[in-house]
Amino acid sequence: MKRAPMLTVDVVIRTPGGVVLVKRGNEPYKGKWALPGGFVRYGERIEEAAMREALEETGLSVKLQRLVGVYSDPKRDPRGHVISACFLAKQIGGRLKAASDAVEVKIFKRVPWRGLAFDHARILKDAGVR
């Protein structure tokens, strides 16, 4: 059987107070801040996966605004070759509450650039977050 990359989504949720980040509860990067996101389920559209992951990890319902980019460096994730489709979104409902594999969720006015997981600093910059 051939090996194939795994597909994930990441979501940049901007609010009037800043950008939403989750503290990872699992390895890799346990305890680091990251964008809400996760693996796309078989049969699921990536847009649906992005909205589901945002809700599961942050308690927020979001509307996707645009694709920020596709990140495919085979070394971006220590678990293997993981490709991520990353979206910019805005909150349309819900209440901020950590869930799923996020141990904490917070809106950052100032992004903790040095404490970010994966290549999320690059993704945030590509989304226009400074």
Residues recognised as catalytic: 104
Q: With beta carbons less than 8 A apart as the criterion, state whether 12 and 87 touch.
A: yes
- Strands 82-94 and 6-15 turn out to be parallel
Instruction: Tell me the CA distances in angstroms from 53 to 39, 87, 110, 113, one per residue in order.
Output: 8, 12, 23, 22
- Counting DSSP H helices and E strands in the chain, the numbers are 2, 7
